[in-house]
Structure 1
Amino acid sequence: MICATFQLLYVVPLLPLLLFYIHGKRKQLRIKQWQKSLNLAEHAQFFQRLYQHENGFILSQQARKKRDAIDYVYGEITFLSFLALLSLTKPDENTVFYDLGCGIGKAVLACAMVFPIRKSVGVEILPELYFSACKQAKKLASIKNYAEQTKKIEFILGDFLKVNLDEATIIFINSTALFNPTWKTLCARLEYLPHLTTVITTSKALPSKLF
């Protein structure tokens, strides 16, 4: 009498795994090509040097002691993630970029450093953050490779619900801490801007059918 023991083996299909691996490699290659085409490695080094001793969160905390409101809660961008998002809008020589609530100016400077835009503007209501942003722009202007780009940068000390935004073609809003009525009023304003084609927001979608 012969007894045989059989063991059931589950074989993972190799083709789906191979396709997943190839897809991942292609994605990595596209990211590297994108970064190289915009010279992002070099830009990132200068950007980090500009802001290495500047802490927007601490400045914001100090500023909000004088005029605290939930709409003034601070947030800021990371260099590569923001540029990846902005790249989708294909900024060019006709682009007028506005950052509403620009803090210490990171998005405004990043945009001007990397893309051939016409203008990059930040609007900030807290003086401490506004003056910090202006200081970073002045430091950028002292770097030879960025002297021309810095001429396209402007910072406005004021309320973005009242500042003239008519020239803006792209608007960025770090909207996580914006609530009604501020958010509702701002969204209504955006619908009437004559040259605006793109609005980039974080956390919230615009309650508008125009964008």
Structure 2
Amino acid sequence: MQSMLCSRNVGGTPLSARNYRAPIICYTQRRQAVQQPYLARKMIQSYPLLAHTSSTRLCSYSAEKEAIFRGFYCNTETAVVSELAQSEGQRLGIQNDDWFYGEFSFEAITSLLQTINPKEGEVFLDLGSGMGKAVLAAALTQPFSECRGVEFLPAVHAYAEKAAEMYDASSKAAQGTLESSSGGESVWPRHCPQVKLEVGDFRAVDMTTADVIYCFATCFSRDVVDYLDMSFTVLKPGTRVLMASKALTCPDLRPWDPPVVQVEMSHTGGTLPVFVYERI
């Protein structure tokens, strides 16, 4: 769930171990197909669609929560945001012929997060948070203490801010009714995660406080993935990393079990592999 802003020919410092600061470089699927080693491709083929997991296993998912989530984005269309991302990039002077905005459904992202066993009090971080959908889905369904997101495009981030304001208002209102409610379990947890969304370059973000890092990296170039590979060496042990469509080679990360899952995209009906790791 994020905007994929990209330009292949933007000036910047060459990539090195610690000084890569050029603007994010990304490509659309038709310009650069996802290139994975043969073994990774075999792994991808061996796992079923995560979104098709039986609902009895999605203990944190409910139709009521999804209805609340949809209410945050009732007047927002993915196609419109994709066009907005293109115009925003042009306004910022970043030229590129192809643009891409991708996201997973609420149920799919909930199921994906369940695979890494979120623990109470952990921190969730979305690198390239777009409209904030993954962040708010995590806040609604998982026992995190804090859910954070960083988005590069201000115009796209504005949608996230509006949704976060609705989340804050709804969660605060719900907390006031928990003690007086009777019968059945409340849709809202007794302690709702704090949501923090910011606009900027995720390379300036401190990742060491995160316990779960999510990145919809479909259109990230190899340079950006390499940068993340290097950055993830500083993560604290036990941190789980979810990388949509791009495998990592960081020696400090070990594959999770399962190491890769197929997740359905809400806007296209297609699927993407998500590579799952743990910092050792």
Same fold (TM over 0.5): yes
Q: Which residue of 1 aligns with 2:74?
A: 52
- How far the C-alpha of 1:148 sits from its partner, in A, is 7.0
Question: Which whole-Å CA distance do the structure 2 matches of 1:109 and 1:69 have between them?
Answer: 31
Deviation at residue 108 of structure 1 after TM alignment: 0.1
| Contact 1:92/1:118 (<8 A) preserved | no
Distance 1:81 1:73 in 2: 19
Cα distance change, pair 179–149 in 1 and its aligned pair in 2 (3 A)? farther
Give the letter aligned to residue 123 of structure 1. Answer: V
CA RMSD in angstroms, aligned pairs only: 2.4
Q: 1:61 aligns with which of 86, 96, 99?
A: 86
SS in 2 for 1:122: strand
Identify which of 101, 119, 142 aligns with 1:92.
Answer: 119
Paired residue for 2:230, among 180, 188, 199? 188
Point out which structure has higher relative CO (alpha carbons under 8 A, 6+ apart).
Answer: 2
Matched, 1:173 2:215: yes
Separation of aligned partners in 2, 1:57 and 1:78: 16
Q: Which residue of 1 aligns with 2:138?
A: 111
| 1:147 shift after superposition | 9.4
CA–CA distance in 2 between the matches of 1:196 and 1:158?
Answer: 26
- Flag structure 1 segments of 5+ consecutive residues without an equivalent: 1-27
CA contact (8 A) 1:64 1:72 kept: no
Stretches of structure 2 lacking an aligned partner (at least 5 in a row): 1-51, 175-187, 254-280
Q: State the TM-score, normalizing by the size of structure 2.
A: 0.59
Alpha-carbon distance change, 39 to 81 in structure 1, aligned in 2, over 3 angstroms: closer
Q: Percent identity?
A: 29
| Cα offsets for 1:20-59 (capped at 9, x unmatched) | xxxxxxxx8x713224x32421111111121121233233
Which structure features the higher share of strand residues? 2
The answer to whether the 8 A contact 2:145-2:192 is kept is no
